[in-house]
Amino acid sequence: MKLSIIGSGYVGTTLAACLADVGHDVVNVDIDEDIVATLNDGEAPIHEPGLDELIAEHAGDRLRATTDYDAVLDTDATFLALPTPSMEDGSNDLTAMKAAATSLGETLTAKDDEHVVITKSTVVPSTTEEVIAPRIADASGMTVGDGFHVAMNPEFLREGTAVSDFLDPDKIVLGAETDTAFDVLDGIFAPLVERANDPTVVKTGIREAEMIKYANNAFLASKISLANELANICKEYDVDSGEVLDAIGLDSRIEAAFLGAGLGWGGSCFPKDVAALAAAARDKGYEPKLLNAVVAVNDGQPGRMLDLLRKRFDPAGKRIAVLGLSFKPGTDDIRESRAILLIEALLDAGASVVGYDPVATENMREQFPDIDYAQSAAEALEGADAALVATDWDEFAALDDQFDEMRQNVVIDGRNIVTRRDGLDYESLV
């Protein structure tokens, strides 16, 4: 099939490369000329394992990019993969979605046959039908179900494993209200389903599809916060939380994934999506008590880590190494990284901070240009009074002699990853 994708960030680019790889002709439309040029040069505009290879293979053939919305005219369906960031009150900022819907509608006036518009972005229930569709209709002069159709296909990929998550998903959720829209969705995903490891295809309504995405992320974030709360209680009773969480994860009703206790969840999605779901609930007069608590537990973890440091000494004037700056291992993305909160708190307390991360240093330097950055964990530890471990990069598990170069031997581990050994004043957050 011929497909267009508006927005070429983490999701749009992965979607484009993977849909080209399963045999579709794909064009990416983005307002960012640099991204378009990079894609047309056969390179990935973002860092994701496997993405460079797919783009190099298909660019100029089944995959191309442009800033010109007219490219959608030669396609059967358009995905909207635009950012939906948080506003002050937590609700979605739909500026990009609205702008793209209007541009798309204006373009579709020149299209003779029916077109299907698929929301890929994470949006609260009713957005596709009440915000996106009316804008396309107004700008195109067409009506939903006659000229164009809308659908919703939420995305569950994780950063760092985006390509493999997309090509081998647990489930594919297709939300639509018309047979035409379902037929097009079937045509798009059939080659992927055939190639993947037997994913379940969930066919549902548009609002249900929108909600499934939030429910998925809210559940995962809640699971981590519950693990953190249990681990915090374990710590009060000198109980090994790792053993407890590993054991409960053996229960097939609980399952081991996302029980990793520690500094909590960050990234571009969990914080934004839990906030948007809570705001959407409040908008309808429902106070989301559990979601509020899930956020509160998460927000409390960095402060607990600082308390463990303060138990040793006042950080004012001390040199503190922050190991790990990205929001999780395997990515250079620092959005909502817990390390940011640690660095802010350390600077407020008058400490001098040296940060180290295998790949995220340059991104963090933009946010904190005035702290020190080390080229290696060993360099960060040299002369430091304490080390705070913020991200579970594998290389931190292998640190050993490097700790001997610290001025004081305090190691506070926010991810339970450092190998404990004699000679360290080691304490895990949980």
Distance (Å) of CA 205 to CA 5, 127, 177: 22, 13, 6
| 273-292 positions binding ligand NAI, by CB under 6 A | none
Task: Please identify, among the stretches 80-88, 218-226, 242-250, 379-387, the one whose residues bind ligand NAI according to the rule CB under 6 A.
Answer: 80-88
265 binds ligand UGA (CB under 6 A): yes
30 lies in the site for ligand NAI, by CB under 6 A: yes
Figure out which of the listed residues 3, 4, 5, 7 binds ligand NAI, where binding follows CB under 6 A: 7
- Binding residues for ligand NAI restricted to 111-140, rule: CB under 6 A: 121-122
**How far is the CA of 427 from the CAs of 304, 320, 414, in angstroms?**
12, 15, 9
- Could you give the angle at the alpha carbon of 380 between the alpha carbons of 376 and 384, nearest 5°? 160
Q: What is the distance of C-alpha 124 from the center of its chain?
A: 17
Report the nearest approach of ligand NAI to the CB of residue 317 (Å): 39
| Residue 106 interacting with ligand NAI (CB under 6 A) | no
Residue the block writes with tokens 């590993």: 246
Is the separation of the CB atoms in 396 and 426 below 8 Å?
A: no
Q: Is 161 helix (H, G, I), strand (E, B) or coil?
A: coil
Of residues 169, 266, 324, 355, which one binds ligand UGA by CB under 6 A?
A: 266
Least Cα distance to 64 among 41, 80, 45 occurs for: 41
269 is catalytic: yes
Pairing of strands 352-356, 319-323: parallel
The interface with ligand UGA within residues 301-340 (CB under 6 A) comprises 327-328
Among 29, 136, 157, 387, binds ligand UGA (CB under 6 A): 157
Would you count residue 268 as binding ligand NAI (CB under 6 A)? Answer: yes
Of the residues 48, 155, 336, 392, which one makes contact with ligand NAI according to CB under 6 A: 155
Which two tokens mark 64?
Answer: 């191309």
Q: 166 among the known binding-site residues? A: no
Q: Would you list the DSSP string of 312-352?
A: H---TT-EEEEE--SSSTT----TT-HHHHHHHHHHHTT-E
Q: Are 277 and 86 in contact (CB under 8 A)?
A: no
Single out the residue of 5, 59, 132, 157 in contact with ligand NAI (rule: CB under 6 A): 157
SS3 3: strand
User: Contact, 267 vs 327, CB < 8 A?
Assistant: yes
- List binding-site positions for substrate: 156-159, 213, 258-262, 266, 328
- List binding-site positions: 30, 84, 122, 156-159, 213, 258-262, 266, 272, 328, 335
Residues that bind ligand NAI (CB under 6 A): 6-12, 29-32, 35, 81-84, 96, 99-100, 121-122, 155, 157, 159, 268-269
Residues that bind ligand UGA (CB under 6 A): 122, 155-159, 217, 220, 224, 258-260, 262, 264-267, 269-270, 273, 327-328
